[in-house]
Structure 1
Amino acid sequence: MTPKELVKSFYDSDLANSSDAIDRCFHKDCILNWHSSKGFNALNFNGLKSVFEEISKAYQTVRFDISHLLQDDNSVTIRYTSYATTFENPDEEIALAHFISIWEVKDGKIIKGHQLSQLADTSISSLKSFS
C-alpha cells in the first residue's frame, strides 16, 4: 500500500464505530503536532486513540469530505472537512471542522503528523472552496 493509499484508507474508515483504524494505520511511536482554533496539542499514539474514542462516544457517524490528497515521497498532504451526525439527531449531518494535515509514513504506518484545523465555516463561499 502506498503512503497515499494508507492515509486515504484511514479517512475512509468508519472512525465513529471502528476502533481498529488507529492500530491499523498509525505507528506505535507516532506523534501528531496539532494546531487548532483552541491552541496547540501534541498527541502520541495513545492520545490519538483517546481522541477517536471520545469521537465515537459523541457522534453516531463521522465522515471526511476530502478535497485534496497529495503524495510526495513518504509524505501525504490531505485537506478535508469533517462531518458528523449525533445520536440525538441522526438524520442531520453537521460540518464540524476544516483540516489540513501532512502525514509522514514509515514502514507502512503513519509515524508523524502536522495538522491545522478550525471550526467549520458553513457559508456557501467557504464550502465551495473545497470543491
Structure 2
Amino acid sequence: MSPKEVVLAYYDALIDPVGITMYVHQNLYIQWYSTRGYIEIDSREIITFARQTKGNYASLRLEISHIIEEGNTVSVRYTNYVKTKDNPYDEIVLSHSMAIWELKDNLLYRGYVMSHLD
C-alpha cells in the first residue's frame, strides 16, 4: 500500500481495536493538540483509544476534505462524525482535525494532530 492508502485504512479501522494494529508501528508516537489540551499517545494508547471509541459510540465516520502524500509523509484534514449509542439515528459532528503522519516500514510511526471539538 502507498502511504496515503495506509493512512486511509487506519482511519477506516479507527473504531476497531484489533484492525487498527495492522497500521500502527510498535514505536508509534503521536503529539495531539486539542481543545481539551495537549496529549502524547503511543501504540498501546491508540489501541486503548480505539477500544474506548468503540465502547462510547455506535459509529464513527470521517469525512476527509484534503489528503496530500509526499514521500513517507501524509497530511490529512477531516471531520469526525459520530452516532452515540443512546441516539444511533442522529449523526453529529464530533471534531474537525488536521494530521501529519510519518510512516516507517509502511506503518504509522509519528503523528502530529490538531483537533477542535465542534
Q: Shorter chain as normaliser: what TM range?
A: over 0.9
Q: Are the aligned partners of 2:81 and 2:95 in contact in 1 as well (CA < 8 Å)?
A: yes
Amino acid at match of 1:39: G
Give the number of aligned pairs.
118
Cα distance in 1, alignment partners of residues 2 and 46 from structure 2: 22
Matches within 5 A, 1:8-27: 8-13=8-13, 15-16=14-15, 18-27=16-25
Q: 2:37 maps to what in 1? A: 39
- Bigger drift between 71-80 and 45-54 goes to 45-54
Matched residue, 1:4? 4
TM-score (norm 1): 0.86
The aligned counterpart of 1:71 is: 69
Please report how far the alpha carbon of residue 21 of structure 1 lies from its aligned counterpart in structure 2 after TM superposition.
Answer: 2.9
Residue 97 of structure 2 corresponds to which residue in structure 1? 99
Report the TM-score, using the length of structure 2 for normalisation.
0.95
Contact 2:72-2:102 within 8 A present in 1 as well = yes
RMSD (Å), alpha carbons: 1.0
In the alignment, the residues of structure 1 paired with residue 53 and residue 20 of structure 2 have an alpha-carbon distance, to the nearest angstrom, of 13
Q: Tell me how far apart the structure 1 counterparts of residues 116 and 49 of structure 2 sit (CA, whole Å).
A: 16
Q: C-alpha displacement at 1:24, in angstroms?
A: 0.6
Matched-pair contact (CA < 8 Å) for 2:34–2:114: yes
Q: Distance in 2 between matches of 1:19 and 1:53?
A: 5
Task: State the percentage of identical aligned residues.
Answer: 33
CA apart distance, 1:38: 1.1
Query: Which segments of 5 or more consecutive residues in structure 2 lack a partner in the other structure?
Result: none
**1:19, distance to aligned residue in structure 2 (A):** 2.2
Larger strand percent: 2
